[in-house]
């Protein structure tokens, strides 16, 4: 059990999940994969995303991970079930299922769900919230789902490292201005979006954010309740793309150095 947890995303967004895992489970080691060479994931079809996920999980298994966290809403909503079938002995935790549970518990009357095109197209989040609310007899939660294809590439381009960036404000207004005053809660359905809360607040006003990273970290903590490691936790970062760009943005998110290695598949 003295093995790392694998965490992956299309790029730096999954680091927002790493932060939550570190907060809750500081002694667990992590292997992080940011598939930046093939980002963004949000415009890809399920078949392609399953194949990328499979390749990443095989890479992580060679690094002897004990579990995998899909720190990517897009993979979670398109590839989770298939990859669980393909790797039956590996615990896999996604972000969308824990997010749906968190929303059902929070019971907002009317909320917005921001995610990638592929996540919104899958309709998974809405289906899970509807089924969960019905089964526990809660009243229906009205969800306004919005695909935001510009957001993740903007974060990967480093635009979120600057506070109050007018380009992000403009994009957020474009996606959400009509919901201002209508919703009081926004679910950050893509792991890049917790880095955009200033732009989202600008567009929507003061609202509650639900960050699925919190519920995802809790879920992994349920599987490994006590730290199984006695050694000092280590995080190793890998990227399929440009190491310098990854490390520049990662440094901003993690508030510390990270020296990613290039993945050789
Ligand atoms: N961060 C990912 C997600 O949670 C992927 C974003 C993208 O690459 O389009 O959906």
Residues 192 and 103 both lie in one domain: yes
CB-based contacts of 173, cutoff 8 Å, min separation 6: 202, 203
Residues 16 and 33 both lie in one domain: yes
Q: Which residues line ligand 1 (CB under 6 A)?
A: 9-11, 13, 39-42, 72-74, 116, 119, 152, 190-192
Q: How far is the CA of 225 from the centre of ligand 1 (A)?
A: 28
Token pair for 212: 């699925």
Residues 100 and 87 both lie in one domain: no
Q: Which residue among 34, 40, 249 has the greatest number of ligand 1 atoms within 8 angstroms of its CB, and so is best to mutate?
A: 40
Helix (H), strand (E) at residue 156:
helix 151-156
Above 90 in pLDDT, residue 224?
no
Atom of ligand 1 nearest to the CA of 71: 4
Above 80 in pLDDT, residue 135?
yes
Residues 106 and 85 both lie in one domain: no
What pLDDT score was predicted for residue 221? 94
Q: How far is the CA of 209 from the centre of ligand 1 (A)?
A: 18
Residues 118 and 203 both lie in one domain: yes
What pLDDT score was predicted for residue 68? 98
Residues 71 and 142 both lie in one domain: no
d(CA 71, CA 40): 14
* Burial class of residue 68, CB neighbours in 10 A (0-12, 13-18, 19+): buried
How many CB atoms within 10 Å of residue 188? 25
Decide: 4 and 228 in contact? Cβ < 8 Å. no
Residues 160 and 218 both lie in one domain: no
Interior/surface letters 216-253, b for 16+ CB within 10 angstroms, e for the rest: bbbbbbeebeeeebeeeeebebbbbbebebbbebbeeb
Active-site residue list: 72, 190
Residue 91's Cα: distance from chain center in Å? 17
The reply to whether omega before 40 is within 30° of 0 (cis) is yes
Residues 204 and 218 both lie in one domain: no
pLDDT-derived band at 233, boundaries 50, 70, 90 = confident
Atom of ligand 1 nearest to the CA of 190: 4
pTM above 0.85, yes or no: yes
Q: How far is the CA of 137 from the centre of ligand 1 (A)?
A: 32
Above 90 in pLDDT, residue 219?
yes
Which residue segment(s) compose the domain that 147 sits in? Answer: 96-212
Q: How far is the CA of 63 from the centre of ligand 1 (A)?
A: 23
What pLDDT score was predicted for residue 227? 64
* Burial class of residue 199, CB neighbours in 10 A (0-12, 13-18, 19+): buried
- List residues bridging with 262 in a β-sheet: 239
For the chain, percent of residues with pLDDT exceeding 90:
91
What pLDDT score was predicted for residue 97? 98
Q: Which residue among 33, 56, 72 has the greatest number of ligand 1 atoms within 8 angstroms of its CB, and so is best to mutate?
A: 72
- Tell me what the pLDDT averaged over the chain comes to: 95
Phi–psi pair at 145, nearest 5 degrees: -90, 135
DSSP state of 152: H
Residues 150 and 204 both lie in one domain: yes
Residues 18 and 44 both lie in one domain: yes
Average pLDDT over residues 32-50: 98
For the chain, percent of residues with pLDDT exceeding 70:
98
Above 80 in pLDDT, residue 226?
no
Token pair for 58: 């095989």
What pLDDT score was predicted for residue 235? 95
Residue 264's Cα: distance from chain center in Å? 24
pLDDT-derived band at 212, boundaries 50, 70, 90 = very high
d(CA 233, CA 108): 37
pLDDT-derived band at 229, boundaries 50, 70, 90 = low
Above 70 in pLDDT, residue 230?
no
Residues 69 and 143 both lie in one domain: no
Report pLDDT digits (tens) over 168-199.
999 999 999 999 999 999 999 999 999 999 99
Q: Which region among 11-15, 26-30, 169-173 has the lowest average model confidence (pLDDT)? A: 26-30
Above 90 in pLDDT, residue 82?
yes
Total domain count, the chain: 2
Token pair for 152: 């993740």
Among 194, 212, 230, where does a domain finish? 212
Average pLDDT over residues 84-101: 98
Token pair for 63: 């690094």
Nearest CA to ligand 1 atom 8: 40
Residues 130 and 84 both lie in one domain: no
Token pair for 205: 């006003």
Above 90 in pLDDT, residue 17?
yes
CATH of the domain at 249: 3.40.50.1860
d(CA 180, CA 161): 25
Decide: 69 and 7 in contact? Cβ < 8 Å. yes
Q: How far is the CA of 116 from the centre of ligand 1 (A)?
A: 6
């Amino acid at each position: 059990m003295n093995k790392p947890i694998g965490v992956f995303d299309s790029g730096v967004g999954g680091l927002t999940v790493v932060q939550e895992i570190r907060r809750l489970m500081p002694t667990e080691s992590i292997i992080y994969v940011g598939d930046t060479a093939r980002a963004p994931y949000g415009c890809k079809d399920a078949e392609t995303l399953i194949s990328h996920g499979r390749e990443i999980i095989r890479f992580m298994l060679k690094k002897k991970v004990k579990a995998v966290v899909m720190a990517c809403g897009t993979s979670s909503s398109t590839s989770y079930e298939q990859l669980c079938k393909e790797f039956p002995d590996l615990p896999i935790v996604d972000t969308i299922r824990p997010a749906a549970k968190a929303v059902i518990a929070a019971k907002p009357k009317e909320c917005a769900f921001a995610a990638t095109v592929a996540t919104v197209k899958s309709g998974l989040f809405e289906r899970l919230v509807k089924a969960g609310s019905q089964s526990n007899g809660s009243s229906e939660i009205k969800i306004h789902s919005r695909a935001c294809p510009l957001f993740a590439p903007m974060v990967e381009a480093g635009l979120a490292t600057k506070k109050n960036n007018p380009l992000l404000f403009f994009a957020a207004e474009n996606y959400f201005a009509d919901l201002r005053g209508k919703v009081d809660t926004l679910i950050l359905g893509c792991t890049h979006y917790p880095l955009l809360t200033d732009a989202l607040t600008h567009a929507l006003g003061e609202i509650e954010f639900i960050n699925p990273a919190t519920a995802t970290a809790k879920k992994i903590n349920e599987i490994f309740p006590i730290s199984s490691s006695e050694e000092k936790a280590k995080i190793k970062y890998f990227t399929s793309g440009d190491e310098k760009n990854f490390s520049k943005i990662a440094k901003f998110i993690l508030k510390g150095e990270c020296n990613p290695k290039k993945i050789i598949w």
